[in-house]
Homo-oligomer: A and B are copies of this chain.
Amino acid sequence: MARDFEDHCWKDIIDADTVEIYQAYRRKTYVGDNPAVLAIDLYNKAYQGGNRPVREVDREFSGSCGENAWKALPPTQQLFAAARAAGVPVVYSTRHVDTAGVHSTNRNMARERNDIYDIKAELAPQPGELVIYKERASAFFGTPLIAHLQKLRVNSLIICGESTSGCVRASTVDAFSYGFHNVLVEECTYDRSMISHKVNLFDLHHKYADVMHIEEVLAHLEGLAGKRKVA
Residue positions of A touching B, CB distance < 8 A? 13-15, 17-18, 20-22, 24, 54-55, 58, 62, 99-106, 118, 125, 127-133, 135-138, 141-151, 153, 155, 165-166, 169-170, 173-174, 176-180, 192-196, 199-200, 202-203, 207-208
Contacts and interface: CB of A to CB of B under 8 A. Distances in A.
Contacts of A199: 195-196, 199-200
Given A125-B102, A173-B137, A150 B142 contact: no
**Count of identical protomers in the assembly:** 4
Given A21-B55, A141-B174, A143-B143, 12 more contacts: A17-B54, A18-B196, A102-B129, A103-B128, A105-B130, A137-B208, A150-B180, A166-B203, A170-B173, A196-B203, A199-B199, A200-B203
A12 B203 CA distance: 20
A104 B131 contact: yes
A35 to B, nearest CB: 14
- Most chain B C-beta atoms within 10 Å of own C-beta, residue among A14, A177, A179, A180: A177
A149 B149 CA distance: 13
A146 to B, nearest CB: 7
Given A18-B195, A150-B150, A136 B103 contact: no
B177 A137 contact: yes
Contact of A196 (B104, B144, B174, B202): B202
A177 B18 contact: no
12 contacts: A20-B58, A21-B58, A103-B127, A135-B147, A137-B173, A137-B207, A137-B208, A141-B144, A141-B174, A150-B180, A166-B207, A196-B199
A143 B62 CA distance: 27
A192 B21 contact: yes
Given A155-B153, A199-B196, A207-B166, A178 B130 contact: no
A106 B170 CA distance: 23
A147 B104 contact: no
Nearest to A93: B104
Nearest to A141: B177
A128 B203 CA distance: 32
A136 B177 contact: yes
B203 A179 contact: no
Contacts of A193: 18, 21-22
